[in-house]
Amino acid sequence: MKLAYESIKDDGGFPDLLREIRERLRVVDPSFRTTDDFNNFTAEYAKEHNDDINAFFSKAKESDSKLR
């Protein structure tokens, strides 16, 4: 079923069939994920992670300055 999903996705046609296969795969295999599952995050989630990344870069820049 996963191969059918990938084939239809690559083909780009039959969006209704693709959606139905995706929903059926989620029933059969609860661990099945698509890229759409990972692209749905909130603004709060993005801000939290952006803050973490910016803090990391700030510390890295500070460490780099000390080494120079």
Regarding whether 47 and 20 lie in a shared domain, the answer is: no
In this structure, the dihedral spanned by the alpha carbons of residues 15, 18, 19 and 21, taken in order and rounded to 10 degrees, is 160
Which tens digit of pLDDT belongs to each residue from 11-41? 888 899 988 998 999 899 888 888 777 777 7
pLDDT of residue 42: 79
The pLDDT score that the predictor gives to residue 41 is: 74
Boundaries of domain holding 12: 1-32
Q: Got the DSSP string for 12-62? A: ---HHHHHHHHHHHHHH-TT---HHHHS---HHHHHHHHHHHHHHHHHHHH
Q: How many domains does the chain have?
A: 2
Quick check: pTM over 0.75?
no
**Do 1 and 26 sit in the same domain of this protein?**
yes
Token pair of 17 as six digits: 């069939």
Query: Do 48 and 23 have their domain in common?
Result: no
Q: Is residue 24 included in any domain, yes or no?
A: yes
Question: Does one domain contain both 49 and 28?
Answer: no
Q: What is the pLDDT of residue 59?
A: 95
